[in-house]
Chains A and B, each alone.
Chain A
Amino acid sequence: MPNIVFILIRRIRVPLILLIFVYAISILGFVLIPGQDDEGNLWYMDFFHAFYFVSFMGTTIGFGEIPYAFTEAQRMWALFSIYTTVIAWLYGIGSLLSLLQEPAFRALMTESSFKRALKRINEPFYLICGYGDTGSLLVRALAEAGIRSVVIDHNQNRINSLELEDILFVVPGLCADASVPESLLKAGLKHKNCIAVIALTNADNCNLKVAITTKLIRSELLTIARAETHEVEANIDSFGTELVINPFDTFAGRLSLALQSPSMYLLFQWMTSVPHEPLQEPTFTPKGKWILCGFGRFGKAVYQRLIDADINVTVIEAMPKETQAPTGVIVGVGTEAKTLMEADVLHAAGIVAATDDDADNLSILMTAKQLNKDLFVVARQNLKENDEIFDVADADLIMKRGSIIANKIFAIVTTPLLSQFFDLASKKSDKWANELVSRICGVVSNNAPSRWMLEIKTGDAPAVSLAIANNLQVPLGVFLRDPRNREDRLSCIPLMLNRGRESILLPKEDEILQKGDQLLFCGKSGMESNMNWIARNHNVFNYVLTGREHSSSLLTKLFGQSN
């Protein structure tokens, strides 16, 4: 801030000096020029009156000739002074305004306001590099979960849109190139409250640079980076980045999951939902031959997954040679009926519109539906701005690239145990997932389930820790009872218990808890606070554990003992 004031003064130095000069000369003139008082005596204006007169004259307020009517000589000097002071003021104000509008100065001002906003953050925040579709979804989801973030993007328009966005918190945005370490430092990499850096820019190199910078400057920070190619993915992974996300692989993986084990797909979608997301309905994909339109990076990833799952795929691609499409490829975009007929759309079970053009994907979707009403249609949505048309389009499954990645990152940063849960769950069968999904269905209402963690340690769960330290047997089931009435159950399900290196999926209710256990729950939003109540309040905990209401006041303790 002070920097800006100094720069401002330095830049309008000449007009300021001119203004002081003009005022000084005008005042001096009035003091020196002889005047007359009301009785016609010779009278000299003093500095006080001269300064008063010039002040209101220069600002064109004009109270008149004070304290006595002027002589002709004084009027002449007043005439001269009026024009010079007005010009000096106009020049000064004009230079000030033009300076304020100068792009360089405006950039300086926004930067300093960013610095101030950053300084004011006094709770943990995430530093997000790149504010595209994924970035904006992530920022919004984090804000709804009560987590602050700071954004850095090289595109001023995106930073502007961040300011206009209706987000719960003020999210400071810096327009700078994230690959330059200095801009990362400016954006708060060394800030004591910065807890994680998430690199989501379109350029792999930039994400790589962000990850390296973070790991070199503050290796303890959680770092998540997006990488489009496998080489960069391996590179970023090599220096200890906690999570590297390949958008095409993640996306294709999720799609193939949707095709092969719908329940598992649904479980993953629910577990990575953002707050207030409506509960997604289960979809069941038909078995049979599939058509894949588009063989770009995403198409290739999908193709590989489908082939691995022994699904018969026909590829449609406009440029088969450039994309190295497999043999048997049908040349075309897939938007025309002729191409689709060639791919035998009438006998196919489903079609994946996977080109990188949203209009093409929509066109494929509509044409295919016209030809074969029973076709299962999966459309890839590239840009968030096309939400409206994709929502009304008649697709069975829409894969939104931005939201899949944003949701995954959101789930993992808010509940780190989830990634372990996913690892274990993906080894289970679809039937297992199906049972879990129906159990979850039983406890949640219209919104997707929320997830939370509970760690049995003195800081997070003092009541439970004390009980365990006193050699009480605390079963997991206590956390599932309603603290208001222990006969009722909380709408939640224990997903995983983590004890040292051992992880138990879907632990039983009679599992005896130990100190240091980490629990992962999912359920209706709001249940988390009930559970924390049990974990923290000794009286509530004793009540749910034993069923006896126990007042801890001194008086009742005395009476209790005497009885």
Chain B
Amino acid sequence: MNFEKVIFAFFIVLALTLNFGFFLGDIENPVHHNVYELFAAIVVSLIATVLKAGDKTHLGAVLLATSLVADLQLIVAAIIWAIAVHVTETGLTPGTMSAIISLSGGALLANITSVILLVSETLMVRR
């Protein structure tokens, strides 16, 4: 068992699970979506990106790309949240909330791709 691999897989899977946890719930209802979970999802996603960077293989490049997509979507979601609450002060209307959640849903897809790639690579190594 390689400790580095454990850390690597841990962060990638954690990024997916946190993202999923945030995404889960009614798309227009702010009560179903925890801001702490979004924060954690962003932090873990950033760490996963740094861990993935620097792998020269083709698979590594695709992994990095999915991670960058997830980062982008989550950060944009957070920016929308901050603008809605602090800049325009309209608060979390159902429209804003659904925009935030659909962005995080996109990030979720990217994270799922990432995990699928990770699993398929692992299976190939096993064989």
A contact residues vs B (CB 8 Å cutoff): 3, 6-7, 9-11, 13, 16-17, 20-21, 23-24, 27-28, 31, 46-48
Q: Given contacts A21-B47, A47-B82, list 6 more A-B pairs with CB under 8 A.
A: A6-B53, A6-B56, A9-B53, A10-B55, A20-B43, A48-B82
B11 to chain A, nearest CB (A): 9
B contact residues vs A (CB 8 Å cutoff): 35-36, 39, 43, 46-47, 50-51, 53-56, 78, 82, 85-86
Q: With a CB–CB cut-off of 8 A, which chain A residues contact B86?
A: 46, 48
Q: With a CB–CB cut-off of 8 A, which chain A residues contact B46?
A: 20
Are A28 and B54 interface neighbours, CB within 8 A? no
Q: With a CB–CB cut-off of 8 A, which chain A residues contact B55?
A: 6, 10
- Give chain B's interface secondary structure class: helix
Number of A-B contacts (CB under 8 A): 45
Are A17 and B85 interface neighbours, CB within 8 A? no
Are B82 and A7 interface neighbours, CB within 8 A? no
Out of A3, A11, A20, name the residue touching B47 (CB < 8 Å).
Answer: A20
Q: With a CB–CB cut-off of 8 A, which chain A residues contact B50?
A: 9, 13, 16-17, 20
What's the Cα separation between A13 and B49 when bound, in Å?
A: 10
Are B43 and A46 interface neighbours, CB within 8 A? no
Which A residue sits closest to B46, measured CB to CB? Answer: A20
Which A residue sits closest to B87, measured CB to CB? Answer: A48
Which B residue sits closest to A32, measured CB to CB? Answer: B36
Which A residue sits closest to B54, measured CB to CB? Answer: A10
What's the Cα separation between A238 and B85 when bound, in Å?
A: 81
Q: Offer 23 A-B interface pairs, CB within 8 angstroms, sorted by A.
A: A6-B54, A6-B55, A6-B56, A7-B54, A9-B50, A9-B53, A9-B54, A13-B50, A13-B54, A17-B50, A20-B43, A20-B46, A20-B47, A28-B36, A28-B39, A31-B39, A46-B86, A47-B35, A47-B39, A47-B78, A47-B82, A48-B82, A48-B85
A418 to chain B, nearest CB (A): 49
What's the Cα separation between A20 and B47 when bound, in Å?
A: 7
What's the Cα separation between A31 and B39 when bound, in Å?
A: 11
B96 to chain A, nearest CB (A): 14
What's the Cα separation between A46 and B86 when bound, in Å?
A: 10
What's the Cα separation between A17 and B50 when bound, in Å?
A: 7
Q: With a CB–CB cut-off of 8 A, which chain A residues contact B43?
A: 20-21, 23-24
Are B51 and A13 interface neighbours, CB within 8 A? yes
What's the Cα separation between A20 and B36 when bound, in Å?
A: 16
Are A17 and B53 interface neighbours, CB within 8 A? no
Which B residue sits closest to A28, measured CB to CB? Answer: B39
